[in-house]
A and B are shown apart, each in its own frame.
Chain A
């Protein structure tokens, strides 16, 4: 009979999932950063070129995707602070799971607050 491998303190728990989310959000932000430096560099080409490309950021689909980008940046930044706390704070490992859930709640609340403001501008 096949049995599930015994759980550990790490595997399948918030320790692992925070690491997975940190990687995925980090890679996503990295590739956005490459694009964002290139689109900003267009100010050196002409006002028309820059405005034409920036107009893409104001379209509905990209406008909605920006909510994901903001959420990824919030999660990655706050979880980075959690990693630092685990490394340098004596109580870090004790509260690492609580800190993870606090980060999820803060990220959701901030994205929820930003969403109507941002979408009103994108669709308005």
Chain B
């Protein structure tokens, strides 16, 4: 059986956005940014001070008391999720043969991506470092002491 290839009677039109090219470009722009964001995240959280030992609620509250780290983590969240989801999409496109399977997987990927970006962003900006009723020894030191 021979494969029928359409005769290219006219050159390819380029009046539409070239999404594959933008995706390719996004990976190359977000990648170096993520190196700075993630490598700094690893040094600050896992190398400096007491590293993993120090990580608890009070540690996170201390970091997010500073808008600098809120926006740092937000940028990391958005870029890493989109970069990772687009990478997964590339892999799905490589290994799926049936269009329905491919569409289902890619739709799930972007749905999870949107959901986690929304969740993470809400968590960063609605975070309460001194929740009422929490044990005082679990809270950062700047929380007002509870009067009993």
Contact = CB atoms under 8 A, between A and B. Distances in A.
Interface in A110-124: 114, 117-118, 121-122, 124
Given A43-B123, A81-B35, A121-B51, 4 more contacts: A33-B84, A44-B127, A77-B31, A121-B53
A27 interface: yes
Given A41-B120, A57-B55, A84 B131 contact: no
B35 A118 contact: no
21 contacts: A33-B81, A37-B120, A38-B116, A40-B60, A43-B61, A47-B58, A47-B138, A50-B57, A51-B56, A77-B38, A80-B31, A80-B32, A81-B32, A83-B28, A84-B32, A114-B46, A117-B47, A117-B51, A118-B46, A118-B52, A124-B53
Interface in B70-94: 77, 80-81, 84-85, 87-88, 91
Task: Assign chain B's interface to a size class.
Answer: 35 or more
Contact of A30 (B87, B127, B131): B87
| Most chain B beta-carbon contacts within 10 A, residue among A27, A44, A83 | A44
B138 A48 contact: yes
Given A46-B131, A47-B131, A26 B87 contact: yes
A40 B119 CA distance: 10
B55 A37 contact: no
Interface string B27-58: 11001101100110010001100111101111
Interface residues of A, number: 38
Contacts of A83: 28
Contacts of B52: 57-58, 63, 66, 118, 121-122
Contact of B112 (A34, A63, A77): A34
A39 B126 CA distance: 16
Contacts of B34: 77
Interface of A: 23, 26-27, 29-30, 33-34, 37-38, 40-41, 43-44, 46-48, 50-51, 54, 57-58, 63, 66, 70, 73, 77, 80-81, 83-84, 87-88, 114, 117-118, 121-122, 124
| Most chain B beta-carbon contacts within 10 A, residue among A40, A43, A122, A124 | A43
Contact of A80 (B35, B50, B88, B112): B35
Contacts of B80: 33
Contacts of B112: 34
